[in-house]
Structure 1
Amino acid sequence: MQANPKCAQPEAQYLDNYDNFEEVTTTFKCLQKINQPLEPEATFFLIRAPTKDNVHRAIKYGIWTSSSRNNKKLNDAPRPVYLLFNVTQTSHFIGLAKIITEFRDKMHFKYWAEENKWFGSFQIEWVFLKDLPYNELSKIQQSCGKCIHELIDCTQIENAESIYSSFQQQPQKSCMLKSFKELDISEKRKRNERDTNPNFDIQFQEHISVFEQMPFSFSVSSYQRRKQQQFQNQQFQQFQYYYQSPWYGVAQPNFWNAQSQTYPQQEQLQSQKVSNNNAGFYQTQNYNRPHTQNIQQTKHLQKKQLIYNKNSNQESPKKK
């Protein structure tokens, strides 16, 4: 893998037969230093892969990556750093690899099993590639009281020399190479799907542009949530303006600004007509004019007096 703005990918490598272990080790560069001696003061970490697909890529191309938090832990650990690989729902360890570079935040492999989830990479070399049953390391207890296979992903392991010697004594009976034919088929399918899909490259470039700004604090799920929240806020602002506008989104702010600039006198006349036709209580012309109130009161009293006089004239002949 070479540093390139387009993120150059390693060439695909496939073999017709993986039974010959010597031929496999000579084909893949990361396996050429197999069975190398253990360096002093080594730091071991347990790697729990969810499937064999990602370990299959790590064996063929000599790369590995994890979450941003785990990558920072591996990058800050004192060198040399060894990775003890394990696949969940299995009863054995797969092998032991050594990290030979710092974390490369601009080297991205886009053919992992999961789409647009893993970014950046370490370059690794494999020390052992053989199946080691759990019971071979069950005697090596950790300070927390658990066995090694019971620990969570990217946990630092104690007693590195004992683990190395257990791999060294284990015969080369079986290894993960037996399932490489099926894993090669899945890799070909994923390469074909992602190479022929232009939308994948767009999303991939978008994710790596954000990842390279924050390589040790980037999370795909949190980034997608923030992106969705921004989209919802934009939609809310558009709907809010739509329902607040007098013509429900038809009239734009530029329209009202243009109207106010071109016809200021016309707006003043309209506002005056509205105020005269539909005046409020405190905007009436008769407000704070006591003589108008007196006139209305006198008229009301006069009407009452007339009504009283009529009634009195009608009742007077009966009294006689």
Structure 2
Amino acid sequence: MKTILSAEKQTMRDGLSKTMLRLSQEDENVYVLDGDLGTSTKADVVADNNPEKFLQMGIAEQNMMSAAAGLATTGIQPWTFSFAAFLSKRSIDQIQVQIAQPKLDVKMIGGYSGLLTGLTGKTHQSLEDIAIFRTLANMVVLAPGDSKEVEKVMEFAHQYDGPVYIRVARDAYPILFDDDYTFELGKAITLKEGTDATIISTGTQTSRSVEAAEKLEEEEGISVEVLHMPSIKPLDTEAIVKAAEKTGAIVTAEEHSIIGGLGSAVAETLVEEKPVPVVRVGVKDRNSESGPNEAMLDKYEISPNHVVDAVKQVLKKK
């Protein structure tokens, strides 16, 4: 069986740095604000190649977001860079009151999201950022699945007038999209057709979901649809309902807490519109820890094999 997943892998940071430099060069209003993590997030490409558009804000995330709000009121489009854990928890008051409420044109890049943060420790991991940001009125929340989609999402955010949170990961992931792919706000993408169950996934978990779906088809003869949801807010509720009508069984998958993220958003939609069996794959209600990637995926039950198990579980409820 031909796989959907490309053998080539790229880090989301590579697509991000290339696009950020280009936007800063093409648009005089685009500035980068960095929370002293440029070498990790790759925002330092602007510091190295277009330094007049780079503002080093230091380890002071609250101040960085307040400064971004002020700059946005002058017509500048600030792109703020930090780890997802720091944006979503240290500076959330400034983001809500000074950026989201007045709907200012500030872009927020949450790097090192999820569990796999290169052994940086649990203080640097973020399993709550989607839940936090999707509760804010006027906020757009996006979680691209590969480096190509990161580029397309950033191009969209550049044209969009309002606050946008983009969740990106540290490590390399398989290429899912080609250069012709077009990102549409609030729209899901069907990566694989299927009839028995649907996996709705986002961000880094999408490539793992494709791997799980292909394994189920090849080894078990189970036909699984994979629906990638890069736009978590606004959410493609129409695609969710259609998937429920088509397969009658839904698994959600995300590298995020099982509480308040994509799984919650999908379940909320289905409860109101089309109740069907749902199993959510995500980190259970527990604290994380630092460790090697494969061990972390297995311990916190979000590996491709856990997605496989979730599909088998939901089919029993169908």
Bucket of the pairwise TM-score, normalised by the shorter protein: under 0.3
Query: Which has more helix, going by share of residues?
Result: 1
Q: Report the TM-score, using the length of structure 1 for normalisation.
A: 0.21
Query: Which has more strand, going by share of residues?
Result: 2
